[in-house]
């Protein structure tokens, strides 16, 4: 198995939120070098992918949570054979719904959230952690974990990330990337509709899609052991395929 895996967190989420998953992966696969790379902190959203490409290790596996997964998909397509495989965690093809991809957050809901973040970032970030935790077995504890680890980001960086989420469409990247792909979803996700999992599989039947029925958008933090097991089983299959 290629011995390096890079984890990329989601919007307004610190690398610390993925440490339980990293630790679970390391415990199950001590030979695997697992690193967590934060999202860019640039106000120019168009430069985020280039910045990640310059910083993330070549040749290993890429895995990302939500926005991190969408950017990982674009990077995998850009790198081609330079990426061993792609794993998406609660990431949609398009985060904001559009006519040809309705299984996403309604455009008006996203617009209202974006405007709220511009007006009151602190309050909106707290609301965001509650949305990420909604549907979890213990949403209060999960929300507190997210709030404690949440990074202090410039409002311009938060806005850049939301502008990316508004426009990103990873279909060309997912279709163009020839390596193995695993996409994990959560059945009680308040940010990515559960129907997005089947929609992705219907559209791209060659990829592997699994869903944790009783989990929230905070899946990698909420269920790190189970997510790690699913990821490693997929990676071993990819290496032997």
**Full set of structural domains in the chain with CATH:** 4-240 (3.40.50.1820)
- The arithmetic mean of pLDDT across residues 82-105, rounded, is 97
User: Which of the residues 45, 66, 114, 216 is marked catalytic?
Assistant: 66
Q: Is 211 a catalytic residue?
A: no
- Rounded distance between C-alpha atoms, residue 228 and residue 221, angstroms: 11
- The arithmetic mean of pLDDT across residues 108-114, rounded, is 98
pLDDT at 237: 86
Q: Which helix (H) or strand (E) holds 26?
A: helix 19-28
Sign of the alpha-carbon torsion through 134, 140, 145, 150 = positive
Q: Give me the residues paired with residue 88 across strands.
A: 64, 183
pLDDT at 1: 44
User: Which of the residues 114, 183, 189, 216 is marked catalytic?
Assistant: 189
Q: Is 66 a catalytic residue?
A: yes
For the chain, the average pLDDT equals 96
Percent of the chain with pLDDT over 70: 98
The two three-digit tokens of residue 40, written as one number: 């860019």
- Going across the sheet that includes 61-65, the strands are 33-36, 4-8, 61-65, 85-89, 181-186, 208-212
């Amino acid at each position: 198995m290629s011995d390096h895996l890079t984890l990329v967190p989601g919007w307004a989420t610190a690398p610390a939120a993925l440490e339980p998953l990293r630790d679970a992966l390391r415990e199950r696969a001590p030979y695997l070098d697992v690193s967590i790379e934060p999202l860019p902190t640039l106000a120019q959203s168009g430069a985020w992918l280039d910045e990640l490409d310059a910083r993330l290790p070549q040749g290993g596996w890429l895995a990302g949570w939500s926005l991190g997964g969408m950017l990982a998909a674009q990077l995998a397509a850009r790198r081609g054979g330079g990426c061993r495989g792609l794993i998406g965690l609660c990431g949609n093809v398009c985060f904001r719904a559009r006519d040809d991809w309705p299984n996403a957050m309604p455009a008006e809901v996203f617009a209202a959230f974006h405007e709220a973040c511009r007006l009151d970032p602190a309050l909106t970030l707290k609301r965001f952690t509650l949305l990420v935790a909604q549907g979890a077995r213990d949403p209060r504890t999960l929300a507190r974990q997210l709030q404690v680890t949440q990074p202090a980001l410039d409002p311009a960086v938060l806005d850049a990330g939301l502008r990316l989420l508004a426009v990103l469409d990873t279909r060309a990247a997912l279709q163009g990337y020839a390596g193995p792909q695993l996409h994990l979803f959560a059945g009680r996700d308040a940010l990515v509709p559960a129907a997005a999992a089947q929609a992705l599989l219907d559209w791209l039947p060659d990829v592997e899609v699994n869903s944790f029925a009783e989990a929230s958008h905070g899946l990698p933090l909420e269920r790190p052991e189970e997510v790690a097991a699913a990821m490693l089983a997929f990676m071993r299959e990819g290496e032997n395929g």
